[in-house]
Structure 1
Amino acid sequence: MANPLSADQFIKALRAEGVRVQEHGSWRTHNRNRKGPWGPVNGAIIHHTVTSGTDRSVAICRDGYADLPGPLCHGVIAKDGIVHLVGYGRANHAGGGDGRVLDHVIAEDYGTRPPAPTRGNADGTDGNRHFYGFECINLGDGKDPWPEAQLDAIARVGAALCRAHDWSAKSVIGHLEWSDDKVDPKGFAMASMRDRIAKRLKTKPGAGTTTYTVTKGDTLWSIAASKLGDGARWAEIAKLNALKNADGIAAGQKLKLPAK
């Protein structure tokens, strides 16, 4: 049980774990706090969007629907591994779930998975209060693939929050493990994802980052293009190295690079 991280602590924890982050608008203050409490937080819930396409999925998760206003999560995890931050605070993501599951998540005393939930959205405990939520772009039909970059990002997000709150991997569950009327995420097992997270927690934060020595003629753009496959990721390098002047790099300087 813990107070929610501040928005600044939240994004700092993600970046420290090597998560590639893209911020959308005023995500730090976009929430449903006026509709109910936010916290104490006890874990994170992983979802799938049942949508395709990054722009469309991010827009839906940020804005919601007429009968379910956004944000619908805190972050949208795209297939390329980029985590799009769309809201922070109470979000319409978890809905009702089984209070027994919450008890086991708090105690972190279950085996490979929590007990099967017997309550759902209509008759359950308020999960929007107690969980961080991440929507992963996937059709949820069991056929849409889960690229390794996306699975790695889910594990990094989970590990980041677990480190920040001193939780174990058992504080990260799937929506289907919270509510008896949900099936997400479909296409991978949450038990195996918790294994990934537990493995990451045995390493130092940010494992997966590398070091690059600047050579004559390098720019952050050229480094990002050659080492990360996308010149537009120069801003991630700048943030990771706290560079105030993106043009101020010099030959021989060592830079940390985020995960590819």
Structure 2
Amino acid sequence: MATIPWLVDVLRGAGVQVVVEGDWLNRMRPGDFNPIGVLWHHTAATSSATNPHPALNVCINGRSDLPGPLCQALVDYHGVFHVISAGRCNHAGSARASGPIPAGDGNTMLIGWEIDYNGVNQEMTTAQYNASVAATAAVLKRLGRDASYARGHRETSTTGKIDPSFIDLNKMRSDVAAKMAGGTPAWTSTVDNSTAGRFTASANWGTSTYSTQRYGADYRFADPVAASDAAWYKFNVPATASYRVEAWWPANAGYNAATPYIVSTTTGNRTIIVDQRATGGQWRTLGTFTLPAGDANRVAVSRWSSAAGLVIADAVRLTRV
């Protein structure tokens, strides 16, 4: 059985804040451990600034149906890595092939981060994401692997796991690659319909939790009319440059087949029509546009559609390219 006694030093060398949890060098499950990659998870526990690592005890000691340790490290609300084990852990189970990771025993092949957030109505914090990117880049360098060896549990799971929620795993790998190359991740910002001070809509827009494909706790809906009555997403764009604009909506046969998204660019408003009956529960690219710098309404969902079905406003993301 191999172990990774270098883990703490590698994390600290990458600038990651580390807390060592007890006898981590000897806390492990029996069996082979020869890692080739890193796997991201979420714990399904609700963390907060005052309760930053609610799942730590479970990750160390396990559950009645699954003995611990359940990961090599838990990443708390503040981005602190709590290092639990230098050896094999019960975090990945049977793995299907994903990228360069072959099918097989995920607990043998993969080092696991459990990122402590619930993944239903709570996203990963910026601190958790940045620390996880830095840690993953450092560990993959130590293993002699590239960023394609960073995966999410939902990519390798054979039992339908959804973790880590609310993360674009291709974007994660891009950020890990940039970190490994000595660069910094591209600027990105997400505004949900519930983001304080960043979303505005009239009283004509209702609120729903009906679809499990929603981003965050809920989403907004309205009937189509021959008037814009737009729901706006406000972004503080750091510089005039090209940005990829993506939208997230829950799909349903009763939603609108021709929903207008409006993007406010340096050359005026651009309208993109999408079919919200399909391809829901994921980020969908609306296009790449030159956006002006400044804090202003940048993307909207308009009600002005000739198609039947509810118009949905959920989440929008900008990424500098």
Q: What is the TM-score with the length of structure 1 in the denominator?
A: 0.65
1:145 aligns with 2:123: yes
Structure 1 regions of 5+ residues with no counterpart? 108-123, 205-260
3-state secondary structure, aligned to 2:70: coil
What is the CA-CA distance between 1:178 and the residue it aligns to?
0.4
1:37 match: 32
The Cα offsets for residues 7-63 of structure 1, whole Å up to 9 and x where unpaired, read as 1x1111111111110011111110002xx2111x11010000001233431111001
Q: Which residue of 1 aligns with 2:59?
A: 61
> Is contact 1:42–1:105 with CA below 8 Å preserved after alignment?
no
Amino acid at match of 1:22: V
Letter in 1 for 2:176: I
Aligned residue in 1 for 2:132:
154
Distance in 1 of aligned mates of 2:4 and 2:152: 23
Q: Residues of 2 paired with 1:6 and 1:185: CA distance?
A: 24
Deviation at 1:165, TM superposition (A): 1.4
Matched, 1:127 2:113: no
**Cα RMSD (Å) of the superposition?**
2.0
* Structure with greater helix share of residues: 1
Residues 109-137 of structure 1, C-alpha deviations (whole Å, 9 max, x = no match)? xxxxxxxxxxxxxxx72110111001001
- After the TM superposition, which residues 9-158 of structure 1 pair with which residues of structure 2 at under 5 Å, given as runs? 9-33=6-30, 36-39=31-34, 41-53=35-47, 54-98=52-96, 100-101=97-98, 104-106=99-101, 125-141=104-120, 143-158=121-136
Determine helix, strand or coil for the equivalent of 1:56.
coil
1:146 to partner: Cα distance:
2.0
After TM superposition, which residue ranges in structure 1, 4 or more long, deviate above 6 angstroms? Answer: none
Q: 1:89 to 1:196 in 2, by over 3 A?
A: same
Distance (whole Å) between structure 1 residues aligned to residue 9 and residue 135 of structure 2: 11
Q: Which amino acid aligns with 1:73?
A: C
More strand by share: 2
Structure 2 unmatched runs, 5+: 184-321
Partners of 1:70 and 1:91 within 8 A in 2? yes
- In structure 2, the CA distance between the partners of 1:84 and 1:131, relative to structure 1 (3 Å rule), is same
CA distance in 1, matches of 2:119, 2:53: 18
Question: Greater CA radius of gyration, 1 or 2?
Answer: 2
What SS does the corresponding residue of 1:134 show, helix, strand or coil?
Answer: strand
Q: Which amino acid aligns with 1:27?
A: W
Residue 116 of structure 1 is matched in structure 2 by none
CA distance in structure 2 between the aligned counterparts of 1:183 and 1:48, rounded to whole angstroms: 9
Give yes or no for contact 2:27–2:84 (8 Å, CA) kept in 1. yes
Of 174, 179, 200 in structure 2, the residue corresponding to residue 195 of structure 1 is 174
Distance in 1, Cα, partners of 2:101 & 2:117: 28
How many residue pairs match? The answer is 179
2:139 is paired with a residue of what secondary structure? Answer: helix
Q: SS at the partner of 1:192?
A: helix
Contact 1:74–1:85 at 8 Å: present in 2 too? Answer: yes
Amino acid at match of 1:105: P
Q: Which amino acid aligns with 1:77?
A: V
Higher relative contact order (CA 8 A, sep 6+): 1
